[in-house]
């Protein structure tokens, strides 16, 4: 497991992303990079491309997280292909990855993370990073992200960890599948079907999302922790 060094600076304009792999499997097929940033200040211009038009009037926090996430993605792509590339933003606000690369980006509080892999190896990649939930936050999220069946399987007890895990896994699922199914879908489109203490889990689709992704399909995910944050990941093989 890679350890993310602690950063103590107010901004990250000169700091490179750090490699991290908080899962117990091999990391040779893709690259995961993370970066701490100030949510109140834009990162330095020397590390970023121009902001997309959609974000020119965004608040500083949104600009900072976008730029930090793209910096992580560019380094992941460089390690994968030998050439750094800042993913753009499509009309649907999803990242635009270079040909032959698939990946995903996530942010939480003051941390950005990106995961990229080869398009010849993976159909899709999803990643999500979340802070630990309070009981109040868990209740609010559970009412939106958990199905009635999931709540019942948990004994109708809203547990902050399980709520965060299910929410994060479904966020990763959306990022992994959206580029393939080309349609929006929501939390009720999948349910947690299994998980274990070793960091493995599975989601089961509860609806047909496309001709290839049908109700009942099982999709595995991994989860881990670093610096007090929950991290989930989905790799869809070709």
Residues 109 and 27 in one domain: yes
Res. 5: pLDDT tops 50: no
CA triplet 185, 187, 192: central angle to 5 degrees?
Answer: 125
Q: Best-predicted range by mean pLDDT among 39-43, 89-93, 137-141, 224-228?
A: 137-141
Q: What is the pLDDT of residue 13?
A: 45
Q: Is residue 12 part of a domain?
A: no
CATH number at 168 reads 3.90.470
Task: State whether 116 and 140 are in the same domain.
Answer: no
The reply to whether 198 sits in an annotated binding site is no
- Same domain for 164 and 110: no
Last residue of a domain, one of 67, 86, 120: 120
Asked whether residue 140 is marked as a ligand-binding residue, the answer is no
Position 65 scores a pLDDT of 92
**Number of structural domains the chain divides into:** 2
Same domain, 51 and 140: no
Kindly state the percentage of the chain with pLDDT values over 70.
90
Parent domain of 39:
18-120
Q: What are phi and psi for residue 122, nearest 5 degrees? A: -125, 140
- Looking at 79, 102, 120, the residue that finishes a domain is 120
Residue 11 lies inside a defined structural domain of this protein: no
Query: Is 171 annotated as ligand-binding?
Result: yes
> Do 81 and 134 sit in the same domain of this protein?
no
- Token pair, residue 114, equals 């990106």
Q: Does 139 lie in the same domain as 115?
A: no
Which tops the pLDDT comparison, 44 or 223?
223
Please tell me the predicted confidence (pLDDT) of residue 3: 28
Residue 62 annotated as binding?
A: yes
What average pLDDT does the segment 88-94 reach?
91
In a domain, 27, yes or no: yes
Same domain for 139 and 103: no
pLDDT band at 2 (very low <50, low <70, confident <90, very high): very low
Q: Please state, in angstroms and rounded to a whole number, the distance separating the CA atoms of residues 180 and 118.
A: 15
In this structure, the answer to whether residues 174 and 205 fall within a common structural domain is yes
Whether 34 is in a domain gets the answer: yes
pLDDT confidence bin for 43, thresholds 50/70/90: low
Q: What are 152's two structure tokens?
A: 């019942």
Are 164 and 90 in a shared domain? no
Percentage of residues in the chain with pLDDT exceeding 90?
77
Pull the structure tokens for residue 208.
Answer: 């047909």
Classify residue 82: in a domain, yes or no: yes
171-206 pLDDT tens trace: 999 999 999 999 999 999 999 999 999 999 999 999
- 130 is known to lie in a ligand binding site: yes
62 falls within a domain:
yes
Cα 133 to Cα 13: distance, rounded to the nearest angstrom: 29
Please check whether residues 140 and 233 belong to one and the same domain: yes
Res. 51 pLDDT band, cuts 50 70 90: confident
| 2 within domain boundaries | no
135 lies in the same domain as 231: yes
Select from 99, 120, 141 the last residue of a domain: 120
Secondary structure (H, E, C), the chain = CCCCCCCCCCCCCCCCCEECCCCCCCCCCEEEEEEECCCCCCCCHHHCCCCCHHHCCCCHHHHHHHHHHHHHHHHHHHHHHCCCCCCEECCCCCEECCCCEEEEEEEECCEEEEEEEECCCEEEEEEEEEECCCHHHHHHHHHHHCCHHHHHHCCCCCCHHHHHHHHHHHHHHHHHHHHHHCCCCCHHHEEEEEECCCCEEEEEECCCCCCCCCCCCEEEEEEEEECCEEEEEEEEEC
- What is the tens place of the pLDDT at every residue in 115-172? 999 999 999 999 999 999 999 999 999 999 999 999 999 999 999 999 999 999 999 9
Q: pLDDT grade, residue 12 (50/70/90)?
A: very low
pLDDT(46) > 80: no
Same domain, 166 and 99: no
- The reported pTM is 0.89
Phi/psi of residue 13, each to 5°? -60, -30
Residue 5 falls inside a structural domain: no
């Amino acid at each position: 497991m890679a350890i993310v060094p602690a950063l103590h600076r107010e901004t990250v304009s000169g700091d490179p992303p750090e490699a991290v792999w908080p899962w117990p499997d091999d990391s040779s097929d893709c690259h995961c990079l993370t970066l701490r940033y100030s949510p109140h200040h834009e990162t330095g211009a020397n590390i970023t491309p121009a902001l997309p038009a959609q974000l020119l009037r965004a608040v500083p926090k949104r600009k900072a997280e976008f730029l930090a996430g793209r910096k992580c993605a560019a380094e992941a792509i460089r390690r994968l292909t030998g050439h750094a590339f800042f993913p753009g933003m499509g009309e649907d606000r999803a990242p635009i990855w270079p040909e032959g690369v698939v990946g995903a980006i996530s942010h939480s509080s003051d941390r950005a993370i990106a995961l990229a892999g080869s398009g010849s190896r993976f159909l899709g990649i999803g990643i999500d990073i979340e802070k630990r939930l309070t009981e109040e936050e868990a209740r609010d999220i559970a009412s939106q992200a958990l199905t009635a069946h999931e709540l019942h399987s948990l004994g109708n007890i809203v547990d902050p960890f399980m709520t965060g895990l299910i929410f994060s896994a479904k966020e990763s699922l959306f990022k992994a599948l959206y580029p393939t199914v080309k349609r929006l879908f929501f939390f009720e489109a999948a349910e947690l079907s299994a998980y274990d203490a070793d960091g493995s889990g599975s989601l089961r689709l509860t609806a047909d999302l496309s001709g290839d992704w049908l109700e009942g399909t099982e999709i595995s995910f991994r989860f881990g922790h670093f610096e007090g944050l929950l991290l989930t990941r989905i790799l869809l093989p070709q």
